[in-house]
Amino acid sequence: MKKYIEPRRYLVNCSSRSLPHIFTDVLVIGSGAAGLRAAIDAATTCRVIVLTKDDQLAGSTQHAQGGIAVVVGSDDSFEEHISDTLATGQGLSEPDVVRTIITEGPERFRELLEWGAEFDRTAAGDLDFTLEGGHSRPRIVHARGDATGSEIQATLCAAVRDNPNIRIMEHAFAVDLVTDGNLWRGALVHNEEGGVVLSWARATILATGGCGMLFRETTNPAAVTGDGYAMAYRAGAELQDMEFIQFHPTTLYVAGASRALISESVRGEGGKLRNDLGERFMQHYHPDAELAPRDVVSRAIITEMKRTQATNVLLDVTHMPPGAFAERFPTIYSICRDFDIDVTTSFIPVRPSAHYMVGGVKVDTQGRTSIDRLFAAGEVASTGLHGANRLASNSLLEALVIGHNAGRMAAAHAASNQEPVVRHAIIDDFQPERPGTLIVADVTNSLRALMWRYVGIERNSEDLAAAERAVDSWCSYVMAREFDTPEGWQLQDMLTLAKVITVSARRRTETRGVHCREDFPKISEQWQHHSSIRRKEDKRR
Ligand code: FAD
Ligand code: SIN
C-alpha cells in the first residue's frame, strides 16, 4: 500500500513552464471574517489579492447566528470573559493568548461599528446582549436577531470593495501552497476560466476556515472542506489539537432539510431540550442544564437518543409569545416554517452535528505559523484560545483579532522582503496516471459517512483504527491520481485531513473537552498538553 500522504502532483494537463504567473505583496486565501479583516490591514501598505473558491460569501462567517462574545457591556469585565474561556477550555487554553484576544476584542468590534455594522439594541439604545452556554453573563452581541454573520460579512465586503489595494478573485481555488526558496510564497490557483496560475506573494495568509464538510452531519456550508489544513500540512507546517472537533448540539434534523443550525442563543433565551418522550433531561446532566458547555449537551443528547431509540431530540420554544420568536430569530423561524414546523405550537427536531475545528495550523497571536512568511487566521488557525473546547461565540472574535494582527504582520514581512521573484517552474515531471474512472462524489460521501460514524462525538480505539484503515485504503488509489477539478483536489485534501484527525484522536487517550474517548473516559494528567502533528519529510521542496 502506498504511503498515506504523498505530495500533491500539481500539474493539470500542462507543464508548469507554461503556467501564467501573477504577483502581489500579500496573498490572502479565504474571504470570510479572518481573510477580509487581514486584507484590510495588509492593504494599508501593500497590494493584496484575496482568493475565494466560490463567491465572497462562501464560508461559515456568512452563516454565523448567535453573535460575537466581546467585553463591551458596562458591567462586564475582561477577567470574567477570560475566566469563562479558560474554564471551557478544560486546562488547554493558553492564558496569555486568551488575555490578548479578549482584551483586543473591543477595538475590533468598535471598528465594525465604524464601518457601518449594526448590532441589535434595546429600546433604550444600548447594545442587546444574549447568553450562550459557558458564559457567566449575557455578553454576546448579535445583529438582525440571528443574522450576525451576514452583517459582519456584508460590512467587511463593503470595506474591501472600494479599496484600490485589494483585488478579490472569486471562484479561484487554491490547489496548493508553493514556495520559492524561503523568500517568496504563494499558491497554485485554479481560476474561474478553468486555467491554473501561479500566484506569488511576499507573504501568504491562510484564512480558509474549518472542515465541517468532512462529516456527514454538519452545520457548515459546502465550501468548508478543510483545504487549508491539508495545504499547510503538505507544506510542512505544524498543526495542533486536530482531534478537537466541536459538535453543535442543536442542528435541525428533518429529512430533506439542510442541516441548519438552531443557535445556542435559542436556549439562551429559554429554549428547553426534551427527549422523544417529551421529557426535559438536561437538568440530570449538568447544573447549568440547557446552557451547559456544548460537549456536555451534545453527549447528553446522544445518550437520550440511544435511551429512547430516537433519531433526534426536541427543542421546545413554545414559552415564547407568538411573534417573539420570529422577531428574535427570523432566519431560524423561516427555515422551520419552510418545513411546516410552527415553533409556537410544536417542538423543533434537533441533533448534534460537526460545527467547528478547535485545532488547526499552529500560530501565535500575530498569526505567524511555523513556516516563515506563512500566516494563518480564523478557524484554520490554532492560537490556543479555545483549549479543548470553544466557548460559544469566541470564534468570530478570534477571527477578527488574529486576522487584523496577521494582516499587519504579513504587510511588515512583505515590506522587509524586496527581492525580485524568480519565475520558477515548480514541478515539471507531470505524468498523467490512470484515466478518470474514479467517481469523486462517491468516495467523498463515503468518507463523510465514515468520519461521522467512527470519528464523531464518541470515539474508541477500535472505531478509530477502522477509520484509519478505510482512509488508508482510499488514499492508496486517490492520492496518486491527477485531478483537474476542485472536487478532486478537495477530496485529496479531505483524505489528508481525515488521516491527520484520526491519528490525533487515536493518540489522545483521554476524554477532555470535545474529545470523548469511550475507552478512556477521564481526563489524564499525561495529556495536559497540546497535541502536535506535522509532515515528517518534505519530498517536494
Ligand atoms: P470562513 O468564513 O469559513 O471563510 C473561509 C473562506 O475560505 C471562504 O471564503 C472560502 O471560499 C475560502 N476557501 C476555503 N478553501 C479555499 C481554497 N482551497 N481556495 C480558495 N478559497 C478557499 N462563531 C461565532 O463566534 N459566533 C457565532 O454565532 C457562530 N455561528 C456559527 C454558525 C454556523 C452555521 C457556523 C457554520 C459557524 C458559526 N460560528 C460562529 C463559527 C464561525 O462562523 C467561524 O468559525 C468563522 O466564521 C470562520 O471564519 P473564517 O474567516 O476563518 O472562515
Ligand atoms: C450558535 O449560534 O449557536 C453558534 C455560536 C457559535 O458557534 O459560537
Higher-pLDDT residue of 10, 320: 320
Whether 230 maps to a domain, the answer reads yes
Asked if residue 213 has its Cβ within 6 Å of ligand 1, the reply is no
Residue-wise pLDDT for 11-30, tens only, equals 433 344 567 888 999 999 99
Residue 471 φ/ψ, nearest 5 degrees:
-65, -45
Asked if residue 396 has its Cβ within 6 Å of ligand 1, the reply is yes
Nearest CA to ligand 1 atom 33: 64
Distance CA 294, CA 242 (A): 18
Q: Give me the CATH number covering residue 63.
A: 3.50.50.60
The pLDDT confidence band at residue 86, using thresholds 50, 70 and 90, is: very high
Nearest CA to ligand 1 atom 29: 64
Relative to the CA of 262, which ligand 2 atom is closest? 3
Residues 6+ apart with CB under 8 A from 35: 28, 29, 50, 52, 205, 207, 377, 378, 403
Domain boundary among the residues 354, 370, 389 is at 354
Asked if residue 392 has its Cβ within 6 Å of ligand 2, the reply is yes
Helix 440-454 to helix 486-507 angle (10° resolution) is: 20
Asked if residue 66 has its Cβ within 6 Å of ligand 2, the reply is yes
Mean pLDDT computed over every residue of the chain: 91
Higher-pLDDT residue of 136, 437: 136
Question: Does residue 133 share a domain with residue 84?
Answer: yes
Please say whether the beta carbons of 413 and 373 come within 8 A: yes
Q: Say what the pLDDT of residue 10 is.
A: 44
At 257, which amino acid appears? Answer: A
* Structural domain containing residue 269: 249-354
Whether 373 maps to a domain, the answer reads yes
Asked if residue 264 has its Cβ within 6 Å of ligand 2, the reply is yes
Residue-wise pLDDT for 141-174, tens only, equals 999 999 999 999 999 999 999 899 999 999 999 9
User: Minimum-distance ligand to the CA of 206?
Assistant: 1
The pLDDT confidence band at residue 424, using thresholds 50, 70 and 90, is: low
Q: Say what the pLDDT of residue 193 is.
A: 84
Distance CA 437, CA 452 (A): 26
Residue-wise pLDDT for 481-511, tens only, equals 878 889 999 999 999 999 999 999 999 999 9
Residue 228 CA, ligand 1 centroid: distance in Å: 12
Q: Give me the CATH number covering residue 290.
A: 3.90.700.10
Whether 459 maps to a domain, the answer reads no
Residue-wise pLDDT for 339-392, tens only, equals 999 999 999 999 999 999 999 999 999 999 999 999 999 999 999 999 999 999
Share of the chain above pLDDT 90, in %: 82
* Residue 294 among the catalytic residues: yes
Choose one of 36, 37, 55, 61 to mutate for the ligand 1 pocket test, by most ligand atoms within 8 angstroms of C-beta: 61
Q: Taking residues 437-448, what's their average pLDDT? A: 95
At 378, which amino acid appears? Answer: G
Total domains in the chain come to 2
Q: If you search the block for the grid coordinates 510542512, which residue do you land on?
A: 236
Whether 346 maps to a domain, the answer reads yes
Question: Does residue 21 share a domain with residue 65?
Answer: yes
Q: Say what the pLDDT of residue 2 is.
A: 26
Asked if residue 367 has its Cβ within 6 Å of ligand 1, the reply is no
Whether 142 maps to a domain, the answer reads yes
The pLDDT confidence band at residue 194, using thresholds 50, 70 and 90, is: confident
Q: If you search the block for the grid coordinates 458596562, which residue do you land on?
A: 74
User: Minimum-distance ligand to the CA of 109?
Assistant: 1
**Residue of 294, 390, 508, 517 with catalytic role:** 294
Relative to the CA of 174, which ligand 1 atom is closest? 19
Whether 350 maps to a domain, the answer reads yes
